[in-house]
Amino acid sequence: MKFEVLPSLLAADFGNLERDARRAEAAGADQLHLDIMDGHFVPNLSMGPDVVAMAKQVVGIPLSVHLMLTNPDRYIERFAEAGATTIQIHLESDCDIAATLQSIRECGVRPGMVLNPDTPAEKALPFLDQVDEILCMTVFPGYGGQSFMPEVMSSVKVLRKASNQSGRNNLGIMVDGGINAETGALSALNGANMFVAGTYLYRAEDMAREILNLRNAAEQNFV
């Protein structure tokens, strides 16, 4: 199993986004995570395709684009052109999920699916074959700096089991929200192998050391 750590640019200094994107890569991040919010699907507004294009120019690591949009289907091409490696859409968004995942694939981008903390994991099962990764939100999306919700671990467990049973052992299972070495370890224990962390990594004194800590904690606890 490959364990990946993805710093979330939402926790960066917005006056120094370029510097902070580079800082994540230099610290050993596996991917950079970009949170896109429309002020409608979630109450907050964040960044758009231009920030993804900036990141594409300044770092060489893959770009994980998390769309918190009511109508993500309208923006797939824009984010693909901007340089997204993965585009993740919420299962709760207002679009044809299967068709949108398909259009992501057709753009040459890896499709991912996201579940809010209160969405039953079973709802993701019909789309398992269409995605390269599933993100289980461990906070309600919209803001960084919230507390990890341990009750989401049951979903992580269900999805890891389902992916193993369907022979998709390489399916990425990601957690996002309140992740640090401790909550990352608990998530790995339940089957997660990809870890998004904003506050924990961008506020750390030594980002490289904390990326290692998180990856090691995950590796040691994964079952």
Binding site for ligand DX5 (CB under 6 A): 8, 10-11, 33, 35, 66, 139, 141-142, 144-146, 176-179, 196-200
Q: Residue 106 CB, nearest distance to ligand DX5 (Å)?
A: 25
- Cβ-based neighbour number of residue 53 at 10 Å: 16
- From the CB of 164, what's the least distance to ligand DX5, in Å? 26
* Member of 27, 64, 66, 83 binding Zn ion (CB under 5 A): 66
- In whole angstroms, how close is the CB of 185 to Zn ion at the nearest point? 20
Of 142, 176, 186, 197, the one binding Zn ion (CB under 5 A) is 176
By beta-carbon proximity to Zn ion, the closer residue of 35 and 133 is 35
- Distance (Å, whole) CA 78 – CA 98: 19
If one asks whether residue 35 binds Zn ion (CB under 5 A), the answer comes out as yes
User: Residue number with the shortest CB distance to Zn ion?
Assistant: 66
CB of 211 to ligand DX5, least distance (A): 13
Of 45 and 166, CB closest to Zn ion: 45
Catalytic residue, chosen from 20, 30, 35, 38, is 35
For residue 64, the cross-strand partners are 33, 86
Count, residues near Zn ion per rule CB under 5 A: 3
Contact 49, 38 (CB under 8 A): no
Residue 176 annotated among the catalytic residues of the structure: yes
**Beta carbon of residue 100, minimum distance to ligand DX5 (angstroms, whole number):** 18
Angle among Cα 86, 91, 92 to the nearest 5 degrees reads: 130
Q: Tell me the H-state helices in the chain.
A: 17-26, 49-58, 76-82, 97-106, 153-165, 181-189, 199-202, 207-221
* Tokens standing for residue 91: 């299962």
Which of Zn ion, ligand DX5, none sits in contact with 177, Cβ below 5 to 8 A by type? Answer: ligand DX5
Q: What is the DSSP string of 24-84?
A: HHHTT-S-EEEEEEBSSSSS-B---HHHHHHHHHH--S-EEEEEE-S-GGGSHHHHHHHT-
Give me the catalytic one of 30, 38, 73, 176.
Answer: 176
Q: How many residues does the chain have?
A: 223
94 is catalytic: no
User: In angstroms, rounded to a whole number, what is the distance separating the alpha carbons of residues 156 and 165?
Assistant: 14
Chain Cα centroid distance, residue 126: 20
Residue 214 contact among Zn ion, ligand DX5, none, beta carbon within 5 to 8 Å by kind: none
Q: Which is nearer to ligand DX5, 196 or 217 (CB)?
A: 196
List residues binding Zn ion (CB under 5 A): 35, 66, 176
Q: Which positions are annotated as active-site residues?
A: 35, 176
